[in-house]
Amino acid sequence: MAEALLSVRDLRVNFQITPAGAWPWTAKKDLKAVGGVSFDLYPGETLGVVGESGCGKSTLARAILNLIPASSGEIVWLGKTLTGGSTRDWHAVRRDIQMIFQDPLASLDPRMTVARIIGEPLKVHRPELSADEVMQRVRAMMKKVGLRDEMINRYPHEFSGGQCQRIGIARALILEPKLIICDEPVSALDVSIQAQIINLLKSLQQEMGLALIFIAHDLAVVKHISDRILVMYLGREMELAEKSMLYAKPSHPYTRALLSAIPVPDPALERKKEVRLLQGDIPSPINPPSGCVFRTRCPEAQTRCAQEVPVWRTLDNGTRCACHFAG
């Protein structure tokens, strides 16, 4: 097997916050946004990261890029440990790791034209390029993502959501990176536009040899683009499996609940489908449940689940799962 492009080991992100309504002198509490996530990502691979809103997916993405400092753990890029590295170390890596954000319009500067938005990373990371060379690369990238040449001097407010996301994709790809982190890039778009953007990312991945981390809260979306899928809940890893195995035989109760919520286009099959509704709300990350964090909503929870934190186990089918009774 090829060497891992990115290795994340026991990554944790905690925030010190003051509880709402507390006095100014009240002691701050730890909000555990990411609680020990580990995975490897290989060249050309797509890792889907799914879970409900607030489970730490976006925090994980930003911690990998050091946009949010990790509290502990290790991030290894091409064999080099970046955790605790200098600003210069991270600056060099950011040419190879780029990000596509959730809100396409909010991620673009409204005062800048398309040419300036897409060309800005070249001015930061490739200052030796002339203005003409930058413009040539911008026009070539616009064509690659499906933007017409006459759009080059327009502003973001003149475009639809799908077109704004194409601009964001062009900006992320202009440096020819090795890894793109897609932070829910289609959640703000119409369903038909979602399919277009996903197909665009897949074709660009094949053409440029990209690795992708594709974050979403919908398992139906990541199914069409991912090779492996990581399921998160309350900042913790629940399951990591090959796509075909996860959809055919999910090992964790939380994964089974997420899969049962996917609508089936056939009305007859939809009526027969077993829906595993989760009871209650997600617990507070400031005061997570003891033992397994999912136990308060798990239909299969037992006494042991409140007493012991489940450890990562690799099952016979190759799936990694954090459940006492999986397999």
Tokens 């502003």 belong to: 155
Q: CB within 8 A of 326, min separation 6: which ones?
A: 251, 252, 313, 315, 319
Position 219 scores a pLDDT of 82
- Check residue 179 and give its pLDDT: 95
Query: Is 22 within a domain?
Result: no
Calpha distance 320→170 (Å, rounded): 35
Please answer whether residues 79 and 3 qualify as being in contact, where contact means their C-beta atoms are separated by less than 8 angstroms: yes
Name the nearest CA neighbour of 117 among 131, 128, 107, 127: 107
pLDDT of residue 270: 63
| Whether the Cβ atoms of residue 147 and residue 115 lie closer than 8 Å to each other | no
Q: What is the pLDDT of residue 6?
A: 95
235 backbone φψ class: left, alpha, beta (φ>0; ψ -120 to 50): left
Closest of 247, 260, 253, 242 to residue 310, by C-alpha: 253
CATH number, position 78: 3.40.50.300
| CA torsion, ordered 278, 304, 72, 237, to nearest 10 deg | -40
Residue 255's pLDDT is: 93
- How far apart CA 98 and CA 87 sit, in angstroms, is 16
Rounded to the nearest 10 degrees, the angle between the axes of helix 161-173 and helix 114-125 is 20
pLDDT at position 194: 87
In angstroms, the CA 205 to CA 202 distance is 5
Other Cβ atoms less than 10 A from the Cβ of 95: the count is: 15
**Strand runs labelled E in 84-191:** 97-100, 179-183
Q: Give the CB-side neighbour count of residue 54, counting CA atoms within 13 A.
A: 7
Distance of CA 172 to the CA centre of its chain: 15
Examine residue 278 and state whether it is found in any structural domain, yes or no: no
* Tens digit of pLDDT at every position of the chain (327 positions): 578 999 999 999 999 888 777 777 788 888 899 989 999 999 999 999 999 888 899 999 999 998 898 999 999 999 888 887 777 778 888 889 999 988 888 889 999 999 999 999 999 999 999 999 999 999 999 999 999 999 999 999 999 989 999 999 999 999 999 999 999 888 878 888 888 889 999 999 999 999 999 998 878 888 889 999 999 999 999 999 999 999 999 999 999 988 888 777 767 766 766 667 788 788 888 888 999 999 999 988 899 999 999 988 999 888 999 999 987
Instruction: With respect to residue 12, please indicate whether it lies within any of the assigned structural domains.
Output: yes
Model pLDDT, residue 254? 93
Residue 209, domain member (yes or no)? yes
The single-letter DSSP state of residue 59 is H
Residue 199 within any structural domain of the chain:
yes
Please give the Cα distance from 267 to 105 (Å, whole number).
Answer: 36
Q: Residue 53: its pLDDT value, please? A: 86
What's the number of domains the chain is made of? Answer: 1
Classify residue 219 by burial, with Cβ atoms within 10 Å: 0-12, 13-18, 19+: buried
Tell me the residue range of the domain where 207 lies. 6-17+47-226
Residue 52 lies in a domain: yes
